[in-house]
């Protein structure tokens, strides 16, 4: 894939095109910082949007297909995957200029069902390690039966856009001069809390470092 995102008609931004980012590394950053994506597809002519876990392996996105897979009758379907980080509520002097600070990535393409068992195992590992790095080697690996019961979808990141807004409100000069209202940003951040061991866990087991180290840190 190229280093820059080459827009197609549907990955060309409409409103606020100045918020677009064109580097592939920026697409990767937004995707890597997320925990849940929203998978969109078409069922009986109508759109469906479902949240699901995902992970990135180079320029392939792997999705945990439990939710979407029941709609997937063949081996592939047109899909759109969106990852959004809300970074702040932007209070302007004028209601019209209220906004949000955010980072979002939108990937368009054809999601395919992963059927090869090696790729499925790799995709599942990518998804689990994305959700919680270090977990794959710590936990019991899937059996052949469990792997067969799992759906993994893959989406190439060939057609995608990234949009970022940051910084203070952008009021009209008249509104700034009039000093009509408070203006500024209320930051929003998503953080991990203190791990809560399962009630049936043996008390002698410490929280492993790959879990404990996340406490009180931002998710991305």
Applying CB under 8 A, among 1, 42, 75, 117 the residue interacting with a second copy is 42
Q: Report yes or no: 95 and 84 within 8 Å, Cβ to Cβ.
A: no
- Distance between terminal CA atoms of the chain? 25
H-helix or E-strand spanning residue 111: strand 99-113
Q: Which is nearer to a second copy, 3 or 202 (CB)?
A: 202
> In whole angstroms, how close is the CB of 116 to a second copy at the nearest point?
18
Applying CB under 8 A, among 33, 60, 86, 164 the residue interacting with a second copy is 86
Applying CB under 8 A, among 1, 22, 70, 166 the residue interacting with a second copy is 70
> In whole angstroms, how close is the CB of 28 to a second copy at the nearest point?
19
Q: Is 23 in the site for a second copy (CB under 8 A)?
A: no
| Distance, CA of 219 to CA of 87 (rounded, Å) | 12
Q: What are phi and psi of 125, to 5 degrees?
A: -60, -40
Q: Which is nearer to a second copy, 1 or 188 (CB)?
A: 188
Tokens of 110: 């054809």
> In whole angstroms, how close is the CB of 211 to a second copy at the nearest point?
6
| Distance, CA of 162 to CA of 67 (rounded, Å) | 25
Q: What are phi and psi of 118, to 5 degrees?
A: -65, -45
> In whole angstroms, how close is the CB of 143 to a second copy at the nearest point?
8
Applying CB under 8 A, among 51, 58, 75, 166 the residue interacting with a second copy is 51
In angstroms, how far is CA 87 from the centroid of its own chain? 14
| Distance, CA of 35 to CA of 54 (rounded, Å) | 7
| Distance, CA of 102 to CA of 166 (rounded, Å) | 7
Contact code string over 122-161 relative to a second copy, x by CB under 8 A: --x---x--xx--xx-xxxxxx--x--xx-----------
Give the count of residues interacting with a second copy (CB under 8 A): 98
Q: Is 95 in the site for a second copy (CB under 8 A)?
A: yes
Q: Is 17 in the site for a second copy (CB under 8 A)?
A: no
Q: Is 33 in the site for a second copy (CB under 8 A)?
A: no
Q: Is 74 in the site for a second copy (CB under 8 A)?
A: no
Q: Which residue has the tokens 């929280």?
A: 207
Degrees (nearest 5) of the Cα angle 175, 178, 181? 75
In the region spanning residues 173 to 192, those forming contacts with a second copy, defined by CB under 8 A, are: 175-176, 178-192
Q: Is 100 in the site for a second copy (CB under 8 A)?
A: yes
Radius of gyration of the chain (CA): 21
């Amino acid at each position: 894939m190229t280093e820059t995102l080459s827009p197609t008609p549907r990955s060309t931004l409409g409103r606020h095109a100045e918020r677009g980012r064109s580097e592939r590394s920026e697409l990767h950053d937004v995707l890597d910082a997320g925990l849940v994506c929203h998978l969109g597809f078409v069922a009986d002519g109508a759109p469906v949007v479902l949240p699901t876990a995902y992970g990135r392996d180079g320029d392939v996105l792997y999705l945990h297909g439990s939710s979407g897979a029941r709609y997937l009758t063949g081996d592939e379907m047109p899909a759109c995957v969106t990852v959004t980080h809300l970074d702040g509520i932007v209070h302007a002097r004028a209601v019209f200029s209220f906004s949000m600070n955010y980072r979002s990535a939108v990937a368009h393409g054809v999601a395919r069902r992963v059927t090869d068992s090696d790729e499925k195992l790799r995709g599942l590992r990518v998804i689990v390690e994305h959700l919680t790095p270090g977990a794959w080697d710590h936990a019991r690996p899937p059996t052949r039966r469990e792997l067969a019961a799992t759906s993994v979808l893959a989406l190439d990141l060939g057609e995608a856009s990234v949009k970022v807004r940051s910084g203070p409100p952008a009021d009209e000069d008249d509104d700034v001069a009039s000093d009509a209202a408070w203006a500024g940003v209320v930051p929003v951040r998503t953080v991990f809390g203190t791990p809560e061991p399962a009630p049936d866990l043996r008390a002698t087991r410490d929280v492993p470092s790959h879990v404990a180290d996340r406490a009180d840190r931002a998710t991305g």
